[in-house]
Structure 1
Amino acid sequence: MSEYMDTNETNNKKIISVGHIALDYIFNVKSFPEPNTSVQIPSAKKYYGGAACNVSVGVAKLGLKSGIVSCVGYDFINSGYSSYLKNLNIDVSNVYHSDEEETPKAWIFTDPHNNQITFFLWGAAKHYGELNPPNFNVDIVHLATGDPKFNVKCAEKAKNCGTLVSFDPGQDLPLYSKEDMESIINHLDFMFMNNHEYERVLKLLDIDSAELMEKINTLIITYGKDGSIIYHDGDEIKVPAIPTNVIDPTGAGDSYRAGFLTAYLKGYDLKDCGLIASCVASFVVEKKGCQTNFPSWDDVVNRLKEKGITNI
């Protein structure tokens, strides 16, 4: 365990996420329908989401400064999302507003085995190509689902600013060309993927796991209920999941990234960053919605103590 004492200096550290702000509609279904058939859904409720914004909200809830670079539509202000982010003191000065397009939206369907199918409306996100990356005078820039070309530009800009770069291709992985993926990897300090995305990236780049690990300082692969593995400097660090009652797995990965990066800036070693990340995710999956049940830092510390982990 790493020894750590919280300070005001630590709490002034800042993470900016790049990528989608979205309105989510989340459904639990008994099974996915076959083509040309239908299934019933119990209800339809709007939630705040978007992978980048999930990370930004998680970072803010955990006590660090947070911001986001994104594109939203004409319906963003009246959706309540805008005032919600401002109340969390999240920096939205680099959010582009479109007068013609809707805010991105996701329709997410989860079966009893926690398999998911997502339909995503890009809407205002089509404008990423028109944007220039801001000056990233922050501690970490996290690149989430969004426009691959814009993410590549942001990775390059962040590195030129001396900023640590984190990347999670997520479900937008099929949008990346081999060239875009190679370019972004050349600028990374952290790369997060689940085990399915990990295999797809290896296939896309036509390399083996050893070659990928040589390219990335810290590689984190998540395996759902089986925990995660952190690869760094030739070491393989296994991190268990924190057992809990899973109601909705949506947003678990984003909350893991928020917890990990926050812990890293607070000075924890990589194993403890993973434990803290797993603990943050354990809260989020207990309720439906990616941001519904984000914990505070004290909530995380107390849950880990309950699990016998006392040095956080």
Structure 2
Amino acid sequence: MFDLVTIGHFSIDFIILPGESKPRRRLGGPPTYTSIPAKRLGASVSVVSRVGGDFPERYLEWLVRRGVDLSRLKVDGKSKTTIFLIKYREDGERDMILRSRAPPISVEDIEGLEARAVHISPIANEVPVTLIERAVETIPIVSLDPQGILRQFDAEGRVFLRGVSDLNFLKYIDIFKASESELKALTGLSDIIRALKKVRDIGVNVAIATIGAGGVLISLDNSVYHVPAAKQNRTIDPTGAGDSFMGGFLAEYIKGEDLLWCASVGSSVSSYVIEEVGPGGFRGKRKVYERARWVYERIVRVTVNM
């Protein structure tokens, strides 16, 4: 049995930073950015994912060396891996273009899966709602990032967000995390506090909204708390910040730690990731906990009696 299994596509990301014209090729996707920090914090990790025949062997070797179990990764030699072109603007926002997409993940891919927690994080509509429904039957903790449920793609592959008509699938979720824009698209509400409340009212136990450099808002029990972003030395590449936040959060959550401490660790993990291009900025417990303590001391309750 694994502590944490991440479900979603690996990706190959071509990242263009502000002031640059040549893209940098990096391994990406939630299975990368969520699994590795969780492993660095002591969790045993695996993934349920699919890639194409173009997925580099060196990426597989890199993941295995870092302790990520790949026994449920399916390689389809006749298909392509999910590939994104990600171009960052000077204001920190990004434009994303889907270049190719790997085959979808099916309910059958999780048959017999044993884990203390799963983090379901699609990036290109690859995970069906029926998989979420099946996961809750056997997995004690189910976490969801709905980014790939909300993403739509135009004829050129440009990514835009569109809400879904039926939010009933959220009743199965223990931990929910979305960016501010994703949360607004999902709920149709512009007020982030009200949007968190709507998600919680459906049945989610803990709802988290990431707000970029502002940190995160976390709704639990009858309150909403502001968890600040950890102090980082520099911001180079925000890719994977939200996914790595969840890696840190869930690694602590499955240990039974205080939820606000879990969020502090998530904030710390993501602060290291954005200091480098791609998934090279993960650190061990000592450094992660050092920044997490700074964050934890500055958490503020912003609303009560939701």
The two structures share one fold, judged by TM-score above 0.5:
yes
In structure 1, what residue type is equivalent to 2:53? Y
Work out which of the residue numbers 205, 228, 243 in structure 2 matches 1:217. 205
Structure 1 residue 236 displacement after superposition: 1.2
Question: Tell me, what secondary structure is at the counterpart of 2:283?
Answer: coil
Question: Tell me, what secondary structure is at the counterpart of 1:15?
Answer: strand
Q: How does 1:75-94 map to 2 (within 5 A)?
A: 75-78=54-57, 80-94=58-72
Work out which of the residue numbers 63, 66, 84 in structure 1 matches 2:45. 66
Residues 152 and 183 in structure 1, CA contact (< 8 A), matched pair in contact too? no
Work out which of the residue numbers 125, 129, 138 in structure 2 matches 1:152. 129
- Report which of the two has the higher share of strand: 2
- The reply on whether 1:53 has 2:41 as its aligned counterpart is no
Q: Deviations over 1:267-300 (max 9, x none)?
A: 22111111111111110111111x1101112221
Counterparts of 1:52 and 1:183 in 2: how far apart (Å)? 25
Q: Which moved more, 1:235-244 or 1:108-117?
A: 235-244
Residues 75 and 102 in structure 1, CA contact (< 8 A), matched pair in contact too? yes
Residue 89 of structure 2 corresponds to 111
- Report which structure shows greater RCO (CA 8 Å, sep ≥6): 1
- Report which of the two has the higher share of helix: 1
Q: How does 1:282-297 map to 2 (within 5 A)?
A: 282-289=271-278, 291-297=279-285
Counterparts of 1:94 and 1:88 in 2: how far apart (Å)? 16
Residue 200 of structure 1 corresponds to 185
Residue 156 of structure 2 corresponds to none
Work out which of the residue numbers 226, 244, 256 in structure 2 matches 1:238. 226
Work out which of the residue numbers 125, 145, 170 in structure 1 matches 2:147. 170
Question: Tell me, what secondary structure is at the counterpart of 1:126?
Answer: coil
Residues 145 and 172 in structure 1, CA contact (< 8 A), matched pair in contact too? yes
In structure 1, what residue type is equivalent to 2:105? Y
For the structure 1 residues 222 and 178, does the alpha-carbon distance in structure 2 shift closer, same or farther, using more than 3 Å as the test? closer
- The reply on whether 1:264 has 2:253 as its aligned counterpart is yes
In structure 1, what residue type is equivalent to 2:60? S
Counterparts of 2:70 and 2:236 in 1: how far apart (Å)? 30
The percent identity for this pair of structures is 25
Work out which of the residue numbers 72, 80, 101 in structure 2 matches 1:102. 80
For the structure 1 residues 85 and 211, does the alpha-carbon distance in structure 2 shift closer, same or farther, using more than 3 Å as the test? same
- The reply on whether 1:189 has 2:189 as its aligned counterpart is no
Aligned length: 284
Q: Which runs of 5 or more residues in structure 1 are unaligned?
A: 1-11, 31-40
Question: Tell me, what secondary structure is at the counterpart of 1:140?
Answer: strand
Question: Tell me, what secondary structure is at the counterpart of 2:42?
Answer: coil
Counterparts of 1:209 and 1:15 in 2: how far apart (Å)? 25
In structure 1, what residue type is equivalent to 2:72? N
Q: Which runs of 5 or more residues in structure 2 are unaligned?
A: 153-160, 298-306
In structure 2, what residue type is equivalent to 1:186? K
Q: Deviations over 1:166-194 (max 9, x none)?
A: 00012551359877852431210011011
Residues 118 and 139 in structure 2, CA contact (< 8 A), matched pair in contact too? no
In structure 2, what residue type is equivalent to 1:271? L
For the structure 1 residues 232 and 308, does the alpha-carbon distance in structure 2 shift closer, same or farther, using more than 3 Å as the test? closer
Residue 33 of structure 1 corresponds to none
TM-score of the two chains, using structure 1 as the length reference: 0.82
Residue 36 of structure 1 corresponds to none
For the structure 1 residues 147 and 249, does the alpha-carbon distance in structure 2 shift closer, same or farther, using more than 3 Å as the test? closer
TM-score of the two chains, using structure 2 as the length reference: 0.84
